């Protein structure tokens, strides 16, 4: 059974590491639409998968939530911003695709064209 005492120990670990990796961690911003349309379309498992995968692989990204991105029929939507604020928009994302986005885009800087909004708008 986990207790809040464990959390105190983890805090110290995190503190040590934080001073070292601050810069790299901000390489990407990953933003998930979590308004009603997103939630209804399945944004919750996507968010959970992204956060878990980023943490497990210590990927250089922060995962953020936002409101409606304005393309409700293409939800769940995940936007990836790089350091220059260049945006890649992934649409109709599910938990598996979310993991792949972390593995390829965040960890290897490879855009997954197949899942981007450009593919669906054509």
Partner 1 sequence: MDELSLNLLDIVQNSIHANATLITINVIDHQQMNCIGFEVIDNGCGMTDEQVSKVIDPFYTTRTTRTVGFGIPFLQQLADETDGELKLSSVLNSGTKLSLKLKKDNIDVPVMGNLADTLFTIIQANQTIDFYFKYLDDVHEFIFDSKEIKEILDGVDINSPEIILWIKDYIKEGLKNEIT
Please select the residue that binds partner 1; options are 27, 29, 60, 62, rule is CB under 8 A.
62
Q: How near is the Cβ of 67 to partner 1 at its closest, in Å?
A: 8
Q: Report CA-CA distances (Å) from 85 to 5, 11, 46, 82.
A: 39, 31, 22, 5
Only one of the segments 49-57, 76-84, 85-93, 114-122 lies at the binding site for partner 1 (rule: CB under 8 A); that segment is 49-57
Report CA-CA distances (Å) from 71 to 32, 41, 75, 77.
13, 12, 7, 8
Q: Interface with partner 1 includes 68 (CB under 8 A)?
A: yes
- What residue ranges bind partner 1 (CB under 8 A)? 1-2, 4, 6-8, 10-11, 13-15, 17-18, 34-37, 39-40, 44-45, 47-48, 51-52, 54-56, 58, 62-65, 67-68, 72
């Amino acid at each position: 059974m986990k207790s809040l005492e464990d959390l105190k120990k983890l805090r110290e670990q995190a503190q040590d590491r934080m001073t070292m990796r601050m810069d790299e961690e901000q390489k990407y911003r990953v933003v998930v639409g979590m308004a009603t349309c997103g939630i209804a379309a399945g944004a919750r498992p996507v968010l959970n998968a992204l956060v878990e995968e980023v943490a497990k692989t210590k990927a250089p990204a922060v995962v953020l939530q936002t409101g409606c991105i304005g393309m409700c029929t293409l939800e769940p939507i995940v936007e990836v911003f790089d350091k220059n604020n260049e945006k890649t928009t992934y649409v109709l994302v599910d938990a598996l695709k979310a993991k792949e986005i972390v593995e390829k885009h965040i960890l290897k800087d490879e855009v997954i064209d197949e899942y981007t909004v450009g593919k669906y708008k054509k």
